[in-house]
Structure 1
Amino acid sequence: MLFLQDASYTHPNRDLLFSNINLAINRQDKIALIGNNGSGKSTLLQILAGTLQLSDGQVKTESRPYYVPQIFGQFNDHTIARALGIEDKLTALKQILDGQVTEENLTLLGDDWTIEERCSEAFAHWNLDAPDLMQKMGTLSGGQKTKVFLAGTAIHHPEIVLLDEPSNHLDTVSRDILYEYIKTTAATLVVVSHDRTLLNLLDTVYELSKRGITVYGGNYDFYAEQKMIESDALNQDLKSKEKALRKAKEIERESVERQQKLDARGKRKQEKAGLPTISMNTFKNNAEKSTSRIKGVHAEKVGNISQDLTELRASLSGMDKMKVDFDHSALHNGKVLVTAKDINFGFGDHLLWKEPMNFQITSGDRYAIKGQNGSGKTTLIKMLLGDLLPQTGTIECTNMNAIYIDQDYSLIDNTLTVYQQAQEYNSGALQEHEVKIRLNRFLFTKEYWDKPCLVLSGGEKMRLMLCSLTIRNHAPDIIILDEPTNNLDIQNVEILTAAISAYQGTLLVVSHDEYFLKEVNAAGSIHLPATAYSKPFS
């Protein structure tokens, strides 16, 4: 149903993204396409959708795929109807109902007389408040745009659906609707996502990398188990090869020393025997050649093992290469950090929540801040940080060191280089080489040190943020994460998960990713009340 044969794609700047990709997806297959940032997942989806052309190879589909993109900016000037590809039908229907029963209008509409009703039903299913189909996409929030395109699956009834990070902007309720669609649809699905709950609903994982596509015949948990087995085997090979390298170097040293002792002994015998100078020089040359030959043999062995070791290390995943050494808060567990009494926010007499909020946060707590899109989660965080004051009630906060990490990693200064950014957190006065060792540990090799932070991807900014926190001399008492996984690939989500899981201080997380919340043990929750506003609030 979906076929790629010897597929290659080269960027307009002539950089090769991938080559010789072969892919066969059968009817009603449900495929997860995963890979690190920059591996070409979104590009491959666009090629399958027909919006990008291959540089080489062939792509074949039995029917036209329906594509839900990750980025919607290109549709901001479109009406909802145009973005969904139904504007011509709606115009034809309106003209027919107005008496313009032309051949052109009848052809455009076909038999689709219920297009408006089907749109209303689809929007209602995805919890969209019956938007005007002539409304501009640019007036919608990210979550609303996603739901418009997802509603298109019920409007068009496609046989093939391509989804690129479909849960990114969705709240918990909308994610549940998406998960139900994934489970029940009869369509063929190809999904790019870092949402591990969603990935576990899919039958097969296709991993895209520089080596091509590797197929894992199971859901994400099965894939993770297989990758762990591969990682364990690779680390075992690495240890064996490191041991072999140490042994080879030891044998090389012993052999050279042994030969040198034999040469010295031979020289002393020759001197005692009173051999002529020419004979002595001949023996000396032979000894040097023998030592050189032994050195060459062992150097070749050491070189071969070193080459194997380099290749093995290059195969390690980011998690295996990285050492996350997160410092912990010095505050004792149970110390009261925040007390909120009857708080609400708004302007004038217009309050944000229908009911005021009351809660307490103590040191060592790990809370998820929960609420639907537009319920004011970010507003609550700003009140906790002292950036906003409540309209009613009080928030009492002890003197605490808080770090706020949003989904754009705004703590990273885009005007600085990677090395300069790391130095900004060097309160412990680490030497230059020590800072660079830390950067290397977080996969920032020498080539990155002078790069401006502006060009870093979301995952790279996240790793630089974690690296900076390990360089910092004082651990934060509380870390606040605001949708931290939205712009990350699977590898970087796992890196962040490992770091936050290891952190022993207080944690507040805004996230609709239940899998992530479970992994970082955000077992408690602060639920936001229903809003008094009709429009979403940040």
Structure 2
Amino acid sequence: MRQEVSAPAGSTIASLFGIEAALDVLHRAQEGHATLDELAEADWTLEERVRDALAHVNLEADAWTSLAALSGGQRTRAGLAAAVFSKPDFLLLDEPTNNLDQEGRDAVRRLIESWKGGLIVVSHDRDLLEHVDAIVEMTALGATRYGGTWSHYRARKAVELAAAEHDLAHAQKQQALAEKKAREAAERQIRRDAGGARKAAKGDMPRILLGARKNAAEASGGSGKRLTERISARADEAVATARSRVEVLQQLSIVLPRTGLPAGRTVLSVADLTGGYDPSRPLIRCLSFSVTGPERLAIVGPNGAGKTTLLKLIAGDLAPAGGSIKLTPSYTVIDQHVSFLDQDATILDNFKRLNSAATENACRAALAGFLFRAEATSQQVGTLSGGQMLRAGLACRLGGEKPPELLILDEPTNHLDLDSVNAIEAALQAYDGALLVVSHDEPFLAAISINRRIVLGSPEDVCLEAPRS
């Protein structure tokens, strides 16, 4: 199953399953229009098996449901159902929980727990990784296999980091010792050379003996110098190797400027909000809530409940059908595709465009704070990975002289590697502004200290606000 389930024009769940022709035969047979050969080939259990597959992933749809009518999370569920429908011997799943709500994530977890065949899953979903037999991590050092679940992996990584830091400290000690010996050897050679020069100046030693001593001293000095240089080079190489291993194992860190948002300032006020893409069937109904000071809110709910729609209403990308929205001018929205970045421009050029008052040095310093240093700032945005893209977006929006008071994020951990997730979590923990986040990633929400939730998609089709904490 691929990471993104595409929805070409006219495609249906049946086409995703690859059963359109078989369903046509079955329907002709049911209507009495099938040939004898088609009757012999008709799969009378097909529709029931399709329903079972869709029910297994909690997707309320049938074979002829248009893929374009499904949300991203619903298409992911349909893709998962299609992947297991033919009962393959081996499954390859690429980020299967991206775009899924908690119910969908639970369906993937149950599938992995019950699957009897072989399976490789590419995933950064820490909850999901608690249900695998082994983890293979790919880094600049290569691919390493760790037996056990995510918890076992993290414990092993902590041990490896401690060992790597110990090796680095030892290598640095040996490097300092080699440098000290090199200095001492050089000083001894200088003293010997000075002593020889004084004897030559006195003229009390035969010229032939002076020449022999000079040659011997030069040979000895040259040999000692080469030995010292080899020892120093080995020590430098050991330090570089140990440091590179520590850098790979260490979590990334990002430092954000402060917003200075006062605790009593209301940055967002939503009153009796109603709206959606279809005015006759609004996804958001009579919703009221506010964000005051550096509060941290999560918008949660099942796929299709209107979480992204709510963000578009707040940001003004969608006109409300009713109610009002009061929003601080100092805000920014970062969607999961970081769409405000120019894909054809470099990271540095994007930063300059979005922070026109910043000097060249300020731009580079800000990007360095988000781990884009030297040549990395010249990378074209369109060539970046998902994690690099989000870091670049955060750098451009938050790395200026005055960060926004309100940061709105839409599924920020989708498509991110685990190091980037850890870095983003650390950055958002240090952010002193207000946060409004759409996410199904519960470990992420816990890590950034979410203290209130707006729950969409209740049985009454209204929005419920969690109490302030």
**TM-score interval, smaller chain:** 0.7 to 0.9
1:256 corresponds in structure 2 to 186
Q: Which residue in 2 is equivalent to 1:455?
A: 383
Distance 1:266 1:349, change over 3 A: closer
How far apart, CA to CA, are the structure 2 residues paired with 1:392 and 1:325? Answer: 40
Matching residue of 1:9: none
Q: 1:113 aligns with which of 21, 36, 44?
A: 44
Deviation, structure 1 residue 116: 0.9
Aligned to 1:308: 238
Instruction: Report the CA distance between 1:355 and its aligned residue.
Output: 3.4
**TM-score of the two chains, using structure 1 as the length reference:** 0.75
DSSP 3-state at the match of 1:404: strand
Look up the match of 2:34: 100
- Seen in structure 2, the aligned counterparts of structure 1 residues 288 and 224 have a Cα distance that, compared at 3 Å, is same
Q: Check the 8 A contact 2:5/2:79 in 1, yes or no.
A: no
Determine the structure 1 residue equivalent to 2:419.
491
In structure 2, the gaps of 5 or more residues are 462-469
Structure 1 distance, partners of 2:22, 2:280, is: 42
Of the three residues 306, 310, 331, the one matched with 1:402 is 331
1:356 equivalent in alignment to 2:269: no
Describe the superposition over 1:274-303 as per-residue Cα deviations: whole angstroms up to 9, x where unpaired. Answer: 446665555445444443333221111111
Deviation larger for 244-253 or 266-275: 266-275
Match of 1:413 in 2: 342
Name the counterpart of 2:467: none
Report if aligned partners of 2:312, 2:318 keep a CA contact under 8 Å in 1: yes
What code does the residue aligned with 1:507 have?
Answer: L
Distance change in 2, residues 1:312/1:464 (3 Å): farther
Say if 1:371 and 1:529, in contact at 8 Å, map to a contact too: yes
Alignment of 1:63-142 (within 5 A): 68-73=1-6, 78-97=11-30, 98=32, 100=34, 102-103=36-37, 105-106=39-40, 108-109=41-42, 112-131=43-62, 133-134=63-64, 137-142=67-72
Query: Residue 314 of structure 1 aligns to a residue in which SS?
Result: helix
Q: Is the 8 A contact 1:336 1:360 kept in 2?
A: yes
CA contact (8 A) 2:284 2:310 kept: no
The residue correspondences of 1:202-281 to structure 2 (distance < 5 A) are: 202-208=132-138, 213-275=143-205, 280=210
Alignment correspondent of 2:229: 299
- Aligned residue pairs, count: 460
For residues 148 and 129 of structure 1, what CA distance do their matches in structure 2 show? 10
Match of 2:438 in 1: 510
Question: 8 Å contact 1:115–1:155 — kept in the other structure?
Answer: no
Moved more, 249-258 or 174-183: 174-183
- The alpha carbon displacement at 1:484 in A equals 0.9
Q: Is the 8 A contact 2:123 2:129 kept in 1?
A: yes
Which residue identity does 2:417 align to in structure 1? D
Letter in 1 for 2:454: I
The 5-angstrom pairing of residues 328-367 of structure 1 reads 328-346=258-276, 350=280, 352-353=282-283, 355-367=285-297
Q: Is the 8 A contact 1:412 1:453 kept in 2?
A: yes
1:455, 1:118 → 2: CA distance? 42
SS in 1 for 2:166: helix
- Aligned partners of 2:242 and 2:351: how far apart in 1? 29
From 320, 325, 329, the equivalent of 2:250 is 320
Instruction: Give the Å deviation of 1:361.
Output: 0.7
Distance 1:127 1:251, change over 3 A: same
Change (3 A) 1:119 1:446: same
Paired AA for residue 72 in structure 1: V
Contact 1:319 / 1:495 at 8 angstroms: preserved in 2?
A: no
Q: Which one-letter code corresponds to 1:141 in the other structure?
A: S
User: Amino acid of the residue matched to residue 273 of structure 2?
Assistant: I
- TM-score scaled to structure 2, two decimals? 0.85
Other-structure match for 1:47: none
Secondary structure of 2:259's match? coil
Aligned to 1:48: none
Contact 1:497 1:520 in 2 (8 A): yes
- Is there any run of 5+ residues in structure 1 with no aligned partner, and where? 1-67, 534-538
> Which stretch shows the higher mean deviation, 245-254 or 308-317?
308-317
Shift in CA distance, 175/477, structure 1 to aligned 2, threshold 3 Å: same
Residue pair 2:161, 2:249 contacting (<8 A) in 1 also? no
Query: For the Cα contact (< 8 Å) 2:17–2:82, is it kept in 1?
Result: yes
Q: Say what the alpha-carbon RMSD is for the aligned residues.
A: 3.3
In 2 relative to 1, CA 402–235 (structure 1 residues): closer, same or farther, beyond 3 Å? farther
Change in Cα spacing, 1:394 to 1:431, as seen in structure 2 (3 Å) is closer
